[in-house]
């Protein structure tokens, strides 16, 4: 008697992919290109995704590492990860017109940092050293903020007053690891204050919850996302922690190694918060061509959050809509913002 082959299936995480902050940041660059014409300069990758950056480059965006690389009098967009006040000051010195595409949920953390610093707190910022978001947040109150990477870091933390300490965090961390670090901090500082609401954003949390839900049933989890995307990398870690047989991060379908599928009946599939859905669709096609056609959605949450475009851009789009055509291009350079 022959046994029937085991059906191959895909568990598709929901929600996945582009979040409200990323959607807004990408649309900001696209609308700026339409409104002012290329080139439009963007400081750092607008979001951490190779495909998005390449697509916007083709449309005329120029990505730079530092503000001084932007020719004077031009337009520069700040990325979704946020920037320190010194970056705004430098842009003003160089007479650059700025559009701030910082995600409003990152701005919320910046404001918390400013407020607690003003009130004299030592701020313990849980996050990854060198990440753009952490650099931007730390720059809001450099004399009050110290970075705590993980529980092992806690022993080295020294504060002015152990009764006046608050923790904040990067928006894209692992929820579970962050709470471990908070636990270690609370052991050291029993009066440690928590932020008024979660700093780890709704999109990061929902994507981790969805991947957790499907990982125990998945022989392999594929996370679509770039290696410099913090929340995508966290999804791989969360999948492994939640029982996935294996988990890999890929930017594109053609990076999947056929050998990963050896003995795999169930593939879990998700994508980071900066990943356009077309990249997931290509992975689904790639898997379908190898017999994984049965797709089951694993739902963890509904998302309906949307953010409006940065106010500088909204204002110029409104002005453009009201102005005669010949006047529109005349408002391109900075100074009139």
Per CB under 6 A, the list member of 137, 204, 206, 271 interacting with ligand SF4 is 204
What one-character-per-residue DSSP string does 225-273 give? S-TT-HHHHHHHHHHHHTT-S-EEEESSGGG--GGGGTT-SEEEEEE-T
For the chain, the C-alpha Rg in angstroms (whole number) is 22
CA distance linking residue 29 with residue 145, whole number of Å = 31
Shortest distance (Å) from residue 200 CB to ligand SF4: 8
Shortest distance (Å) from residue 207 CB to ligand SF4: 9
20 lies in the binding site for ligand SF4 (CB under 6 A):
yes
Residue nearest to ligand SF4 (CB): 21
201 lies in the binding site for ligand SF4 (CB under 6 A):
yes
- Token pair for 234: 């966290």
Q: Is residue 81 marked as binding?
A: yes
Shortest distance (Å) from residue 108 CB to ligand SF4: 9
Q: Is residue 215 marked as binding?
A: no
Nearer to ligand SF4, 80 or 313 (CB): 80
- CA-CA-CA-CA torsion sign (275, 81, 35, 333): negative
What one-character-per-residue DSSP string does 32-87 give? HHHHH-S-EEEES-SSS-HHHHHHHHHHTEEEESSGGGSPTT-EEEE-TT---HHH
Shortest distance (Å) from residue 110 CB to ligand SF4: 12
Catalytic residues: 133
- CA-CA-CA-CA torsion sign (113, 116, 117, 122): negative
Shortest distance (Å) from residue 325 CB to ligand SF4: 35
148 lies in the binding site for ligand SF4 (CB under 6 A):
no
Q: Is residue 48 marked as binding?
A: yes
Q: Is residue 229 marked as binding?
A: yes
- In angstroms, the Cα distances linking 176 to 50, 150, 156, 212, 241 are 28, 11, 21, 11, 10
Which range, of 111-119, 122-130, 198-206, 238-246, touches ligand SF4 by CB under 6 A? 198-206
Nearer to ligand SF4, 147 or 173 (CB): 173
Q: Is residue 14 marked as binding?
A: no
Per CB under 6 A, the list member of 10, 13, 22, 40 interacting with ligand SF4 is 22
- Partners of 43 in the β-ladder: 64, 78
Annotated binding residues, written as ranges, equal 19, 48, 81, 103, 131, 171, 201, 229-231, 274
Q: Which residues bind ligand SF4 (CB under 6 A)?
A: 19-22, 80, 103, 105-106, 171-172, 201, 203-204, 231, 273
């Amino acid at each position: 008697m022959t046994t029937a082959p085991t059906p191959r299936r895909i568990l598709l995480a929901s929600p996945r992919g582009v979040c409200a902050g990323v959607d807004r940041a990408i649309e900001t660059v696209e609308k700026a290109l339409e409104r002012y014409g290329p080139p439009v300069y963007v400081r750092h990758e607008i979001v951490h995704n190779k495909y998005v950056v390449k697509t916007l480059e083709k449309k005329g965006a120029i990505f730079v590492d530092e503000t001084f690389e932007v020719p004077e009098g031009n337009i520069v967009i700040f990325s979704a990860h946020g920037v320190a006040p010194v970056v705004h000051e430098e842009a003003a010195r160089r007479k650059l017109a700025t559009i701030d595409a910082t995600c409003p949920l990152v701005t919320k953390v910046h404001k918390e940092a400013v407020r607690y610093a003003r009130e004299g707190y030592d701020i313990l910022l849980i996050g990854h050293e060198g990440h753009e978001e952490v650099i931007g947040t730390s720059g809001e109150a450099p004399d009050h903020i110290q970075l705590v990477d993980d529980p092992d870091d806690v022993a080295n933390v020294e504060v002015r007053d152990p009764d006046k300490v608050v923790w904040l965090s990067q928006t894209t961390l692992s929820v579970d690891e962050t709470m471990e670090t908070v636990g270690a901090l609370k052991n050291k500082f029993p009066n440690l204050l928590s932020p008024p609401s979660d700093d780890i954003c709704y999109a990061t949390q929902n994507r981790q919850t969805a991947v957790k839900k499907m990982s125990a049933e998945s022989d392999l989890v594929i996370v679509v996302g770039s290696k410099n995307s913090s929340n995508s990398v966290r999804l791989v870690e969360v999948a492994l922690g939640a029982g996935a047989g294996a988990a890999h991060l890929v930017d594109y379908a053609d990076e999947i190694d056929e050998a990963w599928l050896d003995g795999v009946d169930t593939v879990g599939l998700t994508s980071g918060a900066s990943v356009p859905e077309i990249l997931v669709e290509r992975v689904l096609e790639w898997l379908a061509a190898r017999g994984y056609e049965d797709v089951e959605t694993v739902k963890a949450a509904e998302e309906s959050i949307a953010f409006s475009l940065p106010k500088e851009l909204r204002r110029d789009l409104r002005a453009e809509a009201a102005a005669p055509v010949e006047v529109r291009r005349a408002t391109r350079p900075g100074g009139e913002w």
